[in-house]
Amino acid sequence: MTPLELKGAYKRVLETNDGEVVLKDLEHRFHINASTYSSEVTDTAYREGQRTVVLFLKSMLQDWDPQIKEQFDE
């Protein structure tokens, strides 16, 4: 599967009604709009790891810059 095909698969799944509900829940649970800071360094790292996964999912919903997309179309 090419990167462009993979991105399309993410979009097809996450842009459904259920996908949107799940993504909103993940945003709420995993600190998208809140601080990941904890006095325990390991807790902060763990929370930031959770947050990074949700940010990745959200990034897969964004359109690629045409120049980047062009590289994968070649």
| pLDDT tens-place string over residues 13-65 | 999 999 999 999 999 999 999 999 999 999 999 999 999 999 999 999 998 77
For the segment 59-73, the average pLDDT, to the nearest whole number, is: 77
Q: Which residues contact 44 (CB under 8 A, 6 or more apart)?
A: 36, 37, 38
State residue 20's pLDDT score.
98
Contacts of 29 (CB under 8 A, 6+ apart): 50
- Asked whether the predicted pLDDT for residue 73 surpasses 70, the reply is no
Phi, psi of 39, deg, nearest 5:
-65, -20
Q: The tokens 């990167």 sit on which residue?
A: 3
